[in-house]
Amino acid sequence: MWRWRKIVYSVLLIIFVLDVVLALIIRSSFFSQKFQIIFFNIGQGDAILVQQGKNQVLIDGGRSEKKLLEKLGKYVPFWDREIEVIEATHPDSDHITGLIGALKNYKVDYILKTRNQSQTKTFQAFQQAIKEEVRNGGKILEASQGLKIKFPQGGEAKIIYPFNPLQNNSFNKNENSIVTQILYKKNSFLLMGDLPSQQERELIKHHLSLQSQVLKIGHHGSRSSSCNEFLTYVHPQVAIISVGKNSYGHPHKEVLKRLVQHQIKFWRTDKVGDIEYLCNKDECHLVLSQEK
């Protein structure tokens, strides 16, 4: 008799635990419809997650598969094993290495990239991971100006640059870096990849609507990006510098001086950890993890 009671109690306990887990999943899903832009503290590299509910756009992945997967595990619900869009701004290893891990561990619906190429083993591994995903139903999108990714509850990611699809033999990596503008209600985030100043000036010449409250500055604060004309044109309130320990001198003191001169407040991932903007209704609020 006692054994039967023990079995019944065990079954009831299991049902209770499952009910609690299900309730937590439903609650988390309910509260996760807010629009988020998260600049990962990924070391020397870029990795940005744009998320609304179960819909994600992952822009770049840093130079470590392990670090990126840890970040995705932190911010993406554990039951969500699908990333709707992965964007590779250009084929440098500090932008695409982590994406290889994402392609291996998540179902990816679309891979957004250009024909920008590299001769590195990392780029070859990235290409192979893309081929595997395509075999499993993933699709490749060619990035050029005008392409838009819309989120179901409002908000969009819009490709600003390159102006036209690249040729197959393109090896000008930084110069062809994808520029993406994230729009949510009245809020705008401009993500520059590693684009140099010469191409920044090209964007200005095209009289594009680039004014944004938040600017992810190009090339981790390299001296070759974020020229004075561009900072004046975009007129951001805040600049994000995605950077880690490096031997390149990033962010360069001249860039930091320009930001101060333009009265642009800046945050560095190596100093404050993950940098998150949480958008609710019409407002986007800055959240700092302080996790270095």
> What's the CATH number where 72 sits?
3.60.15.10
The C-alpha atoms of residue 100 and residue 44 are separated, in whole angstroms, by 17
- Tell me what percent of the residues of the chain surpass a pLDDT of 90: 80
Q: Tally the domains of the chain.
A: 1
Considering only residues 186 and 23, tell me which one the structure prediction assigns the higher pLDDT.
Answer: 186
Q: Which is more confidently placed, 152 or 25? A: 152
Contact 80, 161 (CB under 8 A): no
Instruction: Give 1's pLDDT tier (boundaries 50, 70, 90).
Output: low
pLDDT tens digit sequence for 59-89? 999 999 999 999 999 999 889 999 999 999 9
Q: Look at residue 52 and tell me if it is in a domain.
A: yes
Cis ω for the linkage preceding 251 (within 30 of 0): yes
Q: Where is pLDDT greater, at 233 or 170?
A: 233
Q: Mean pLDDT over all residues of the chain?
A: 89
129 has pLDDT over 60: yes
How far is it, in rounded angstroms, from Cα 288 to Cα 84?
26
Does 243 fall in a domain?
A: yes
Region of residue 266 (left: phi > 0; alpha: psi -120 to 50; beta: else): beta
User: Does any domain span residue 155?
Assistant: yes
Quick check: is 24 in a domain? no
Q: What's the rounded Cα separation, in Å, for the pair 175 and 165?
A: 13
Q: CA-to-CA distance for 165 and 220, rounded, in angstroms? A: 25
**pLDDT score for 20:** 45
Q: Is residue 15 part of a domain?
A: no
161 phi/psi in degrees, rounded to 5 = -150, 145
Regarding pTM above 0.95, the answer is no
Beta bridge partners of 282: none
Confidence of residue 9 (pLDDT cuts 50, 70, 90): low
Q: Residue 235's CB: how many other CB atoms inside 10 A?
A: 13
Judge whether residue 112 has pLDDT over 80: yes
The answer to whether residue 221 is domain-embedded is yes
Vertex 78, ends 245 and 49: CA angle to 5°?
A: 45
Tell me whether residue 204 is exposed, middle or buried, using C-beta atoms within 10 angstroms of its C-beta: 0 to 12, 13 to 18, 19 or more: middle
Please indicate, yes or no, if residue 262 is contained in any of the structural domains.
yes
Task: Provide the residue range defining the domain that includes 63.
Answer: 32-288
Residue 94 lies in a domain: yes
Q: What average pLDDT score do residues 93-104 get?
A: 98
Question: Percentage of the chain surpassing pLDDT 70?
Answer: 87
Region 143-156 average pLDDT: 94
- Each residue's pLDDT tens digit, 160-173: 999 999 987 667 78
